[in-house]
A and B are shown apart, each in its own frame.
Chain A
Amino acid sequence: MKSTAYIAIAFSLLIGLPASAVADSGDIVVEDAWARASIGTNRPGAAYMILRNTGSDPVTLVGLETPLAMMPDIHETTTDLNGVSSMGPVGEITILPGESVSLEPGGMHAMLMRLQTKMVEGETFPLTLNFADGGTLNVDVPILGIAARGPEG
């Protein structure tokens, strides 16, 4: 990863790009992205993944974009001591250097509100992660069956 960054820096110096083109968000690696199929477009969907920061600076995820949903947002399910679960937006997520943040069932998830098309098992959809430094990362999220229990199905 580091060598890629050095090559990118060298390349940006070579062609005269500003240094910000190799922003810290370039150190974010996404693993095990998956989502469940939706029944139609009336109900919100959810997508899950692990965000790993391989760099040496904190990186903050500030938003999501996808043609699949008008209002994608990071949400979190919390369950209290009485076993009552509820959901709400979490705002920004900061991923510390060398750490990872999991979006997983029962915790944080990419909540896909106002679906524009049905989420069909076997297809993928593009999800863009927007970071505080202006960097973006495009992820192709595989859509698994509605009864999937994890990235392996």
Chain B
Amino acid sequence: MLWGLTAIVVVGSIFLQFSIREEQRADAPAFQADFELTDHRGIVQTDEDFAGRWLLVFFGFANCPDVCPTTLAEVAAVMDALGSDAAKVQPLFISIDPERDTPEKLAEFVPAFEADIVGLTGTADQIKRTSETFRVYFEKIEEAASPNGYTMGHSSQLFLFDPQGGYVGAWTYGTSAEEIVSDLRARM
């Protein structure tokens, strides 16, 4: 019931976002990256800690066997291809599964991609607030064979924020690293 309501709120906010955007100046971002979460080293991080860098933000969960490692593998390929420009870009992996994804669990997952990805998690409340800010949707799906008996459904776009934290756009799941790199280079 609560999840259904969340879905309605999030979908509603997506429509709102588009209608607001039309009335805004073309260069004003639809929203700002705004969060306070704990990273995979156990350090509290906010959006301000990443100011001055482009942010590549993906929401997922460490138990995710397909979409999340696939996207993080593309992100790692993007960072490789950027070469020296990679220093201007910070990839973030934000958990939508705070129940299982402790900082320790994320520490086993994100560094394996060797792309300086920062894993972020928090309390259920912090994650809910972050998902509302970023207008992402997530839900628990019961599945007996999965760890703790559930898997997650979640927004799978890769979001881009400018060095001022303004939302630039999102690539749909499955966009190749090559395409992301050429989009990024055109903006940087």
Given contacts A43-B65, A79-B173, A111-B65, contact A85 B109 (CB under 8 A): no
Closest to A148 in B: B73
Inter-chain contacts of A40 with B (CB < 8 A)? 108
Check: B164 CB closer than 8 A to any chain A CB. no
Report the separation of the CA atoms of residues A42 and B112 in the bound assembly, to the nearest whole angstrom. Answer: 16
CA–CA, A148 and B152, complex, Å = 23
What chain A residues lie within 8 Å of B173 (beta carbons)? 79, 83, 85, 106
* Nearest CB in chain A: distance from B143 CB, A: 8
What 0/1 pattern do residues 51 to 71 of A give for CB contact below 8 A with B? 000000000000000000001
Shortest distance in angstroms between B102's beta carbon and chain A's nearest beta carbon? 12
Chain A 10-28 per-residue mask, 1 if CB under 8 angstroms from chain B, else 0 = 0000000000000000000
Residue of B nearest to A112 (CB): B65
Contact, CB under 8 Å: B76 / A147: yes
Q: Could you tell me if A83 and B170 are in contact, using CB atoms closer than 8 angstroms?
A: yes
For residue A84, give the distance in angstroms from its CB to the closest CB of chain B.
5
For the complex, is B45 an interface residue (Cβ under 8 Å from A)?
no
Q: Looking at the complex, which of B21-29, B153-161, B180-188 is the stretch in contact with chain A?
A: B153-161
Report which B residues bind A (CB closer than 8 A): 11, 14, 62-63, 65-67, 69-70, 72-74, 76-77, 108-109, 112-115, 137, 139, 141, 143, 145-147, 151-157, 170, 172-174, 177
Q: Which residues of A contact B (CB under 8 A)?
A: 36, 39-40, 42-46, 71, 73, 75, 77, 79, 82-88, 105-106, 109, 111-114, 146-149
How many A-B Cβ pairs are below 8 Å?
A: 99
Chain A residues whose CB sits within 8 angstroms of the CB of B115 once the complex forms = 147
**Chain A nearest CB: distance from B111 CB in Å?**
10
Judge whether B11 and A36 touch: CB under 8 Å.
no
> Chain B's interface: helix, strand, loop or mixed, by majority?
mixed
Q: Is the CB of A106 within 8 A of B66?
A: yes
Give Cα A112 to B69, complex, Å: 15
Specify the chain B residue showing the minimal Cβ separation from A78: B153
For the complex, give the distance between the alpha carbons of A7 and B75 in Å.
49
Q: Which residue, of A46, A71, A148, has the highest number of chain B Cβ atoms within 10 A? A: A46
**B70 near A105 (CB under 8 angstroms)?**
yes
Contact of A39 among B66, B109, B141, B152 (CB under 8 A): B109
Chain B contacts for A113, CB-based, 8 A = 145-146
Least Cβ–Cβ distance between A25 and chain B, in angstroms? 25
Kindly list 19 other residue pairs between chains A and B, CB separation below 8 angstroms, not including A105-B174, A149-B77: A39-B108, A39-B109, A40-B108, A43-B65, A43-B147, A44-B146, A45-B65, A46-B69, A77-B66, A83-B155, A84-B153, A85-B153, A86-B154, A87-B67, A87-B141, A87-B151, A106-B66, A106-B174, A147-B113
- Cα–Cα, bound, A83→B172 (Å): 7
Residues of A within 8 A of B70 (CB): 105-106, 149
| Among candidates A46, A73, A83, residue contacting B66 with C-beta atoms closer than 8 Å | A46
A45 to B70 Cα, complex, angstroms: 12
A146-B112 CB under 8 A given contacts A79-B173, A83-B172: yes
Nearest-Cβ distance from residue B15 to partner chain A, whole angstroms: 11
CB-CB under 8 A for A149 and B155, given A82-B11, A83-B173, A109-B65 = no
